[in-house]
Amino acid sequence: MGVKITISGAPGTGTSTIAKLLSERLNLPVISAGMMFRKLARERGMTLDEFGRYADSNPEIDMLIDRTQKEEAVKRDSCIVEGRLSGWMVEDADLKVLLFAKDDVRFQRIASREKKPFEVARDETLRREQIEMERYLKYYGIDIRDYSIYDVVINSANFGAKEIVEIILTALDQKLNARESNQDKGS
């Protein structure tokens, strides 16, 4: 029996890092919406901010990324799906995880990763998030501030990456054991 895990969160919460570490621990492939988005931006010679604005007026970009991610997840028995909407798009996930962190923590992580001033990272990220929030609501009727679909919600500012992976693995074990126990009762 396969295992599907979704890792969602706003930019700078550590979703890519956690998906990668989890992938190494479980030997599962990662399907990343963020990587797809960054690749498309790079191919067009645009910054993430510019590409986010471009995607806002070109809905086919989001649709392509979301459709590709969903198709890849459906094709696989086991995988880790990482992206803002992955918890919403992969309905049959065994475990849906949301990472969050205070804005200043996220902006500092983004500034460090992208080698840009904190203020620039903050302004670009806030603009990008507003655009994305509006797009997701418009295209899919999804309010990404709704955490009710997630099994586990973790403040990534309070734990190291390895600790977060351990929390996720513990939650996954418990969820799979509960499912197995329920199946045994039903047979």
To the question of whether residue 52 is assigned a binding role by annotation, the answer is: no
To the question of whether residue 6 is assigned a binding role by annotation, the answer is: no
To the question of whether residue 170 is assigned a binding role by annotation, the answer is: no
**With contact defined as beta carbons under 8 Å apart, do 179 and 124 qualify?**
no
To the question of whether residue 13 is assigned a binding role by annotation, the answer is: yes
139 to each of 134, 135, 146, how far by Cα in Å?
9, 6, 16
List beta partners, residue 155.
Answer: 100
To the question of whether residue 15 is assigned a binding role by annotation, the answer is: yes
To the question of whether residue 12 is assigned a binding role by annotation, the answer is: yes
Residue environment code for 60-80, b if the CB has 16+ CB neighbours within 10 A, otherwise e: ebbeebbeebbebbeeeeebb
To the question of whether residue 47 is assigned a binding role by annotation, the answer is: no
User: What are the binding residues?
Assistant: 9-17
User: What are the binding residues for ATP?
Assistant: 9-17
